[in-house]
Each structure stands twice: as C-alpha cells, then as structure tokens.
Structure 1
Amino acid sequence: MGPLVAGLWIAACSAGGNKQLGTGGDDTTGSGAGSGQGGGIGVGQGGGFAVGAGGGNGCGNTCSADLKKVIDCNGNLVEQCGPDQACLSGACGNDPCGAADEAKSSYGCDYWAVKPDLITDGSGACFAAYVANTWDVPVHINVERGGQDLGTGFIFIPQGQGQGITLSPYDSSAGLAVGEVALVFLSHDTSFPLLPLCPQPPAVNAETAVLGTGRGSAFNIKTDRPVVAYSILPYGGGPSAATSASLLLPTSAWDTNYVAVNAYAKSQIVLPAQPSLDILAYQDGTEVTLLPKVAVTGGAGVAGSAANTPVTYTLNRGEYLQISQDAELTGSPIQSTKPIGIWGGASCLNVPVGAAACDSAHQQIPPVPALGSEYAGVRYRNRAAATGEEAPPWRLVGAVDGTQLTWTPAPPAGAPTSLNLGDVAEFMAPGPFVVASQDEDHPFYAAQYMTGAEHVGAGFVGEGDPEWVNIIPTAQYLDKYVFFTDPTYSETSLVVIRRPASDGQFRDVQLDCAGTLGGWQPLGSYEYTRIDLVTGNFQNVGNCSNGRHEMSSDAPFGVTVWGWGGYSTTLLTAYVSYAYPAGASIQTINEVVVPPIPQ
C-alpha cells in the first residue's frame, strides 16, 4: 500500500443454573483497547463431542469430535468409521453433515459470511472466505447470495508456501481435495482502489457491506461434507493496514440466545469509526428481540429504541441487520424465535481508543450455551521492539449476576473479582493467567487484544496494530486443526495451550512443519508454548512458512494464530495485524438463559 493509503489509515485509522432470570450489571470498567484481525484461517476437529473437547457427560459409546471414530467413555477407540462415513449418536453412519450438525463445533456444512462495516476509506476491499477440507473424500462447494447461485469461478486453491503461493482454479467436478484449503473471493468494488482488491475476479463486483446502520444480504457457503470456514477482510491485507478475520460458526452451532459483544469502544481519534453489531437469520420470519444497555440510534430499516427497552426486529433468510453507533451494545441480551448468527465488530478502532492507528474488526460470537466458565489467557509473543513484557488489554463480559472469579496464579492488576449480567470489565496485563467462575452456571465471555503500533512508543515503527480476538473456553478445545496463514504478513506466530488428557498427563502436540512442539510452560493445570512460523523480513523459521498447516494431539489443545507486519520489510506491512482462533467446539456446556427482560 502506498504512503497515501497508509496515512489515511494511520490518521483515520442472565439467568443461571435452573434457568432462573438474571439482573443487569454495570458498564465498562478499567482501561482498554480494541482492534481488527485478519489474514488467516484455521480449522479444527477432534477432542470428542460427547467426551473430549467441548466436554459432555455420560458413558457408553460416543463420537470423537472429528466425527470419524466411535469411542468409549474413556476415549478409547471402538470403531474407525469408513472414509465417507461419520459417527452419529455413538455409531458409524452415512450422513456426515447430519453428524456435524449434532456435534456443534466449528466443523459443519452450512456457513454464512457477513461483510463487516468498514469506514468509507476502506470501501470496496476484497472480502473472502477460506474453506478447509478435513474430511477423507473431496468436498464440493456451493455459494449463494439472495437466493441466487453464484457459481464457482471465484474459488481458487492456494499452492506452495510463503510469498511464492500461487492460485489454481477450483474444479467443481472434482471438488476440494482432502486436506486442501479453498480461497473463496466473495466481493470487491473496483471503484474503491484504496485497499487490496481480490487477486482474481470475485463472485460480486460491488460493495456488499452495509455502511453504518441498516440491513444487508449475506453469503451462504454450503458443502456436501463437513469443513471449517473463515471470513477475511481484506484478503492479502498485509499491505493494507486494515485487516480483520473471523472463525465462522456453522448454522448447526447457532442458537437463539446471545449476549451482544462489540469489538471495542468508539475511537477517540477517528470520528467516523463506530462499534458495530450484525444479526443474521437463516430462516424466514425470524424475530429477534434485543434489550439494549444503551439507546439504539436506529437507521435505514432498523428501528431505534431507548435503553433498557426491548426492541424486536424481523429477518428473513440471508438477511442481516447491522447496528453501528457510537455507544457500545456489549452486554445486551438477545433472544430470537429461530437460530441466528451474531457478529461483533468495529468500522475502525484504536487500541487504546486514543492511540494510532486504527484497524477494522469482526468476530462471530458464540451463543450463551457455548460460553465457558474458565479461560486461559496467553497473549501473542512480544513484538521485536518491545522493552520488557507487553501488557495489552483483556476484556470479560458478564452473562449472569453474582459471577465470582478466581485467578491463577493471581489476579492481574485491575482485573475484576466478580461480574454481573452485562458488565464489561477491562484490564491491561502481560499474562498469562487462568480465570474461572464458581461453576458452569456462571459463564462469561473473554477476549484479548493487541495494542496499536504507536501506543507502545516510537520504537515500534509501525510494528503490529490493534487486534481483537475471542478467547476459546478451555472446555471447547479440539485435538486437530488445519489452518492457512496469509503470506502477505511478515510475522506469523502461534499461541498453543494444552490441557491434560483424562489420565492427567499431557500429550505431545504436533505441527506439520516443526514436529513435536517444545518449550512448554506451566499455567495452573495447563501448559502453553509459542512458536513462530515467519519472522523479521518474511524469514521462514526452520521448515515453517506461511500457508497451509496442520496440528494434532491425542488430547485437546487450543491454538490462536497471530500475524503482523512492520516497516522493516521488503513488502510494506506497517500498521497491520490479525488474529483468529484456529477452531473451536461450540457445544452446549451450560444451561443458562439470558432473556431480554428489563430489570
């Protein structure tokens, strides 16, 4: 990206337990940050969806979370399913997509991608999705929007590693090969050339985002076998200084009850930038009721509402409403008559709110039943110019009144010891830590951030930028991931957290390019490590580079992918960063309901 564009972005840039009702809490506390993410994709399978990752109780035969094995209650193999079979209800069968629907993880056959709000300077940028085939047979991909089949001419397969990656056309007859990743270029608008356009013609040559508050039409990505999918804006965003990405959740993991989460508070230095919230239906006649903590300003096709006054919207299949406004809706209960998808975001945000530069942000938010009561917080590794340990912001959002928090090894300075429904607690700390509530009837949401490049001083010379990413609950870890990291970022690093197996012992974690991971550090009952894939001026680390990767273990573990750039690169990548969870189980791990009832 040229200096003009860089300059633009730098300058512009409940109820718990027995389903009793909860009451509301306070507003944001502490100091903080926010950000946009992007640049890569990941995919997970494994851990056991009735035992293993995502928890689950009971004995007898169950299914591994990759859906390919029947296992007993101790995780021992009972039966290996055939190449095109899947485990459903504790037995091998011939309905892989039905098995994925029952499993409730990031693994599925039906996804929706919403292009997030972005300030006007970013209009028209390449919006894309990644689809990873982790099945044992080829997978066929179909994309629709507004009920129209869009064909497949915009789907490509990345070949190679690092900056030498090339794109080969997807063969719709042969399908996506086993273990491959497809790049699905959804839209761009050639009349807005400031941010990267897609390297190949997309499905739609027009802006497909809603700018500000309004209603829009999402992309539906369907496959005939389970996959994992991600969205990214813009694709190839290393030179753009404005990237974000999200793990997508299949419709089988959607629910009717959520707590709203925006990316972060409104920027203090980019006046047009606003927090945003997207609500998407995949069935006609879906009624969505929001109990806003603050007034909803309203806009085109979106009614406004006073604070603490329920407002109901009706959505049809593929339709989403977006609320972009100065005041955050984070902590507001949402309930619907049919399952919905929720995305938090920001059209551009600064972390902290007064520090340059700004990035976009979007994350698909898990429903209340998938929220955890325990999270392990391990941040990205220090950026090269850091002096001492970086202490970025962290956020917790309460879902149930009377949530009591315990911290391992100790509470960070400014960290909360309790949460009520709707509370947004923020603190800045280097970590690592484990935070847990008193039981599964007191779930909460957790997020981590990277600060803007200029927040940490001139020494960072554009290294990294604001970032926001969901933290996956420890109960929702998987045991296998396939992911793709964007080759336009000069720094790519993984954060890996493993939990012990059922016998209390840790299992090795394998990364395809590095073998068995080492450097494990204790963190309560968990262990963590970090590993670089690319660093410096696009320098490969050992046999690792950007591109497609696989990780696996015999016990569940979590993976967060981080990437960023700086001025000291041959391809300008200053003021940019991204992060995403490589995958997650989205199983029901609590019985809490958070109704939109005024208190």
Structure 2
Amino acid sequence: MQLIRTVIDERRIPRSRRVLAFSIVSLLGACSDDVGTATEGETGSTSAPGSTSTGEPASTTSTGEPTTSTTGSASTTGQASETSAGELTTDDVPGEESGSTGAPICPDGEVICEGDTVKVCDGAGGFKFEEACSKGCFAGYGCQICVPNTTACGGPTVYLCNEKGNKQTEVDYCDPFQGMECDPGIGQCVGDCSADALGRSNVGCDFHLANGLQHDLHNQEPDRTGYVIANMGDQPIVLTLTWPGSVAKAHFGTVPPEGTSTFYLGWNEALVAGTGPTARVEDAAVRLRATGPIALNQFNTFDPTGSSDASTVLPVTAWSDRYVVASWASSGGLPGFYTVTAAHDDTTITLTPSATGKAVQAGAGVAADGSGVVTLDAGEVLQVVAQLDDAADLTGTIVAADKPVQVSGGHKCADIPAGRESCDHLEEAMLPLGDLATEYLVVPPLDESGQRIVRIVASEDDTSLSFSPDQQVAKTLAKAGDFVDLGPTSAAFVVAADKKILVSQYMLGQPDADGDPSMILAVSPQHWRERYVIQALSDWTAQFAEIVAKDGAQVTFDGLPVGGWQPLAGTGYSVARVEIDDAVPPGNHVLLADQGVGLAVRGVADLVSYWYPGGFEIHEPPQ
C-alpha cells in the first residue's frame, strides 16, 4: 500500500489562502467513529480516529451539527499564524487584487474552508455557495470526513480515507504486543515488526498456522505437527498463540538471540483426515505472534515416523493477493491439495484452474472443474482437494484474492515417480506470484543418486524457457498454469524465462533416494539471504544444509568456513553440503555469508524425508 500525505495544490489557491495541514489526526477530529460506513451528512453524535486540536471531540446537537468550531478561521492579515486546528495561514501578498474584505479574489469555482464552513468562490470577490460542514472542511475538497487518499491513526489502528473523502476503512493494526505504534505524522505503523521494517521475506512477527491432508496412519497421536522458531534479532523474543474463535492466548516461551525453539500443535481432523471433498474449515488457523522478527518452519510430521515433509511458513507481511499452485498428481487413491488461509474477514477468493487442475472434488463453493469464488473470514482455511483420478493434478491453478492470503500446496501421500509404492506427505508454502522470478539456479540433492523431478510452472500465457546447460524438454508453455517436468535427473542448471515462473523439485521415493518423496520450491539467486538460522531435529538419520553460492563467496556455518565446494559447470556457482549436528545444544545453527546464498535444508530417515528452502528476501516491490 502506498501511503499518500496531504498535498494542497498551490497553483489553484492564492498564497493568502493556502492552508498547510500539519496533522491529519487533528483534521479528523470531527469524523465518524463508524469507520467504513460513515459518510458526510449523517446525523447523530460522531467522532473519528484521532482527536481535535484541544484533545476533546466537538460537541454536537441532536442532529449532529457541531456547536463549537475546532478549527478557527484563516488569518488574512499580519504575520503567519497557527489556527486552533494546527493549520498555518499566510499573509496577504502586496499587489494582489483584493475584494471588499481585503482578501485577494479567488478564482471562480475554487473551494476554500473558513473554519468548518466550505465556500465556493464566484471569481468576483464573493462566494456563490457556502455551507457549514457537520464533520469537517478540507481545503480543495469541501465537506468531508477525511482527506481523500490519505491514512490516519486512530489509536493503534491505521485508517485509509477513500478518494471521495466520505469513508474510512481500517487497513492496518499496529499491534502493541509486537512493539508497534501508529505514527500520526505518516499515518502508518512503525517499529521492528512493521511492514516497512521487515520488508518481504520469510522473516516476520505474525503467522497463521494450518496444515493439510496427511496420511491417516500419521495424522493422530503419537505423531505430531511441530514448529521450529528461529530468533533473527539480537534481543530475546516472547511468543504468544491465539486459538481461532477465541480470545484465549498463551504466552509460551522466550527465544534467545540467534536461538531456536520448538512447539507442537494438535491435529485438526477437518484438515488432515480423509481424502476429500473440498471444504471450508472454520476456526482452523492458529495465530502466532512474536515481539520481534522470527523465521518459522512447519514439520508435518515432526518425527521420522513414516510420512513427513516441512515447509517455510510465510508471515502476514509476505502474503499477497495472487499465487500459482504447485502440487502433485493424485496417486494410489490419495489426492493432492492446496490450502488458502485468510487473516481478514470477508476475504473473497477466486480460483482459476489449470489444464490439469479441472478435476476437483467439489465443495464449499468450488466446482468440479476447479473454478469457484469463496469468501473466507479471519482464521478460516479453504482446502481444495483433487479427484482421485491419477490425471488430477492441481499444479498451475491460479488463486486470486481481494485481501492478502497464504497459499500452500501439497499431497496427502504422493508416489514419486507415479507407480512407486513408497508414498510420503508433501507440503510447501507458495511464494506470491509477484515475488516469483524469471531465472533460477536449480540444484539436485547431494545424495548418492542426486535424482529428483523438476517442475517448471508458467504464471502467464506464452512463456518461453531457456536452459544453461541445455535440457531436452519443451521450451514453450502456452497457458498460465501449464508446466513441464524434467527427470528424474541429477542435472544442475539455470532456467530462464521471459515471464515469471515457479520452480518446484520433488525427491524420489525408495529405492532411488536416501529418504522418500518430499517437495521444495526453488528460490531465485536475486532473493537469496546472507544470514540463516536453522535447527537440527532429533531422531533423524541424517540432516544437511546444502548451500549454493557464487564462486568466491565467503560463507561460514557456526563460525567455521564452509569447504568442499563443488563447481556447477557452466553456471559460475558452486554447491557445498554441511551435515547438521543435532547434538549441538539446543540444535540451532547459524549460516553467514558476505553476499546472498541459497540454502536448502534436508532430512532423511527410513522411508521418510523432509526438504525446505532456508528462506528468502525480496529486494524489490512485487509486480
């Protein structure tokens, strides 16, 4: 959201009548409390976010008309002075034409304010219209409740005034628990957890947690979903959980600087059990807030018990309104899925299926062809489930929303390649479509075979691909949502496109891999980070940090230089693998580099694995 401060067009207003608004809040002192519905001309006692210049709301009559003025009149003679509303008026300028009052004649049709009275000039020194405003007068606009296209603070809440100046909408909340406050000078949240301070990355202070379909042998106790929190700041961080549909909160721990912490959540049967149909699940997402920046990963399941994967959970500050989905085809009678999580009430979701995504188990307003328009409230999750036909693959579906949402893709238990009888759960949070890239370095896992399947998905029609070194695969994707698979292959390569693409990789099942199927999204080199904090889990056979960097980059892991770099032919990059030691108390590890590097974190055990990107950081606005 671009924040626009009040600007007065000085070319249209003579200098003697220019008004510079020092405070949006003071101007809004007579605005309506009924934010989002209040309009100019309503009756009844009203107030607005902020206060008048005296700190008290203007008193009103039974019809809503003010009985006292909070702004005062503009000075027309003498030195510049401040009115009671914090407005500054300027002197008359010698030599300008004046009317009978000594003020310069304003052009015909110009809208000016004198206190809470709007006047329209007749061009001859008088006024052809004037009226007392019930809720405030704004130079150049007249009677309005707020300055059009500006934001203002109402306590910790940020409100946006519409383009007509007759309606305000809540657009942000500066959560005091997260150390934020609303700065009235700019009308937006400030603090280490504010959107401006965090930027767009996997690091944030506000998360909504919900998992998807999991194999029915592993979606109940003693199996569990676990979350690993990494403190990305230099101060201890306090955490709190809020359960949906309740004001109950739990402060459950403090994470030391560069430290990690783990917690577990119970299973939501409506999300994890069965094989469909598509459903809208109320009160499904648990909210996690932190007093400082953290990175968060979900492990489903947390223990190596037979069906597991991991994903990088995106904070609300990285959510967006448009995504393209990566999933996998239904197999062995088990379906692929994607989930959409809302943080705001009345969020409208519009679904456009891909060519392979038109085979959906209908429900919750989603048709059997995968299309639909669904409205979600805060904390609700829409889980779209593919038909059980092996040709049903939700990959490529476009998810659009009128408010930012979170989208994850996955599979209840996928066979990779198709027909392999060693399924495993898949899950990964999707990167917003605007944060995708046109070039990726795609690197295989550094296990014995290095085999995996690479999937490249178009976000727009007529997308052309190129590879270095070249790969023998179709180079044109005709429609948004179309995709091409490479492999199984152990090749490392750069893929470039003329439009943004999504790239996902899938680990193979036994016996062609050290573990079993899992899923990871590729992160473009332009979105790599210079610092990561990760945790090794206990009871896994082996866990690795696989690092990709430009040749010559200086990289340390737990303070020691990373060695054993393997050049990736023809790319100018090299890859190294560091085994993660879960015996290092409390199992947390820090990677530092002198430039952005890529990180994939991978764990394997008997018939189970996980694979997730270590993080990302967007260095430019989404497009």
User: Are residue 230 (structure 1) and residue 297 (structure 2) matched?
Assistant: yes
- Give unpaired runs (5+ residues) of structure 2: 1-178, 184-188
Partner of 2:218: 122
1:106 Cα shift? 0.6
1:322 aligns with 2:383: yes
CA distance in 1, matches of 2:476, 2:547: 26
Q: Do residues 576 (structure 1) and 601 (structure 2) align?
A: no
| Matching of residue 185 in structure 1 with residue 264 in structure 2 | yes
Q: Where does 1:118-267 land on structure 2 (aligned, <5 Å)?
A: 118-124=214-220, 125-149=223-247, 151-152=249-250, 155=252, 170=253, 175-188=254-267, 209=272, 211=274, 212=276, 213-216=278-281, 217-235=284-302, 237-238=303-304, 240-262=305-327, 264-267=328-331
Aligned ranges 1:2-17 → 2 under 5 Å: none
Say whether the 8 Å CA contact 2:219–2:273 is kept in structure 1. Answer: no
SS in 2 for 1:486: coil
- Deviation string 1:284-331 (CA, Å, 9 cap, x unpaired) is 00000001234364455x1232538x4200000010110112322211
Distance 1:102 1:177, change over 3 A: closer
Partner of 2:451: 391
Paired residues of 1:486 and 1:546 also in contact (CA < 8 A): no
Deviation of the 1:99 alpha carbon: 4.9
- The yes-or-no answer on 1:288 pairing with 2:320 is no
Alignment partner of 1:427 is 2:478 = no
**Whole-angstrom CA distance in 1 between matches of 2:250 and 2:451:** 45
Measured after TM superposition, the shift of residue 467 of structure 1 is 1.4
1:474 aligns with 2:514: no
1:123·1:207 contact (CA, 8 Å) conserved in 2?
no
Deviation (angstroms), 1:207: 7.4
Is residue 405 from structure 1 mapped to residue 465 from structure 2 by the alignment?
yes
Match of 1:510 in 2: 556
Q: Which structure has the higher relative contact order (CA within 8 Å, separation 6+)?
A: 1
1: CA distance between counterparts of 2:584 and 2:260? 17
SS of structure 2 residue aligned to 1:182 = strand
Judge conservation of contact 1:357–1:575 (CA < 8 Å) in 2: yes
CA contact (8 A) 1:258 1:334 kept: yes
2:565 aligned partner: 519
User: How far 1:260 sits from its partner (Å)?
Assistant: 2.2
Counterpart CA distance in 1 for 2:481 and 2:442 is 21
> Of residues 577, 601, 606 in structure 2, which corresponds to 1:561?
601
Partners of 1:247 and 1:586 lie apart in 2 by: 15
Distance change (3 Å), C-alpha of 1:95 and 1:397? same
Alignment partners' CA distance in 2, 1:132 and 1:590: 25
Q: Distance in 1 between matches of 2:570 and 2:533?
A: 27
Aligned residue runs from structure 1 range 267-286, under 5 A: 267=331, 270-271=332-333, 273-286=334-347
Change (3 A) 1:117 1:516: same
Give the aligned residue type for 1:402: D
CA distance in 1, matches of 2:271, 2:396: 28
For 2:468 and 2:585, how far apart are their aligned partners in 1? 34
* TM-aligned CA deviation for residue 128 of structure 1: 1.9
Structure 1 residue 396: deviation in Å? 0.5
CA 1:230/1:150 → structure 2, altered by over 3 Å: closer, same or farther? Answer: farther
* Gap change, CA 1:328 and 1:98, over 3 Å in 2: same
Aligned residue pairs, count: 426
Instruction: Label 1:179 to 1:325 Cα distance change in 2 as closer, same or farther (>3 A).
Output: same
Give deviations 1:91-146, integer Å, cap 9, x for gaps. Answer: xx971011566511111111111121113222223112111111111111111121
Cα deviation, residue 492, structure 1: 1.5
- Pairing 1:42-61 to 2, within 5 Å after superposition: none
- For residue 481 of structure 1, report the CA deviation from its aligned partner: 0.3
Aligned to 1:110: 206
Gaps (5+ residues) in structure 1? 1-83, 156-169, 189-203, 384-388, 501-505, 535-539, 566-573, 592-599
* TM-score, length of structure 1 as denominator length: 0.66
Identity of aligned residues (%): 23
CA distance in 1 between partners of 2:378 and 2:214 (Å) = 24
Per-residue CA distance 1:516-552 (angstroms, 9 max, x = gap):
3342414545422222415xxxxx69x9899211101
Q: Take 2:544 and 2:255, find their aligned partners in 1: how far apart are those partners?
A: 27
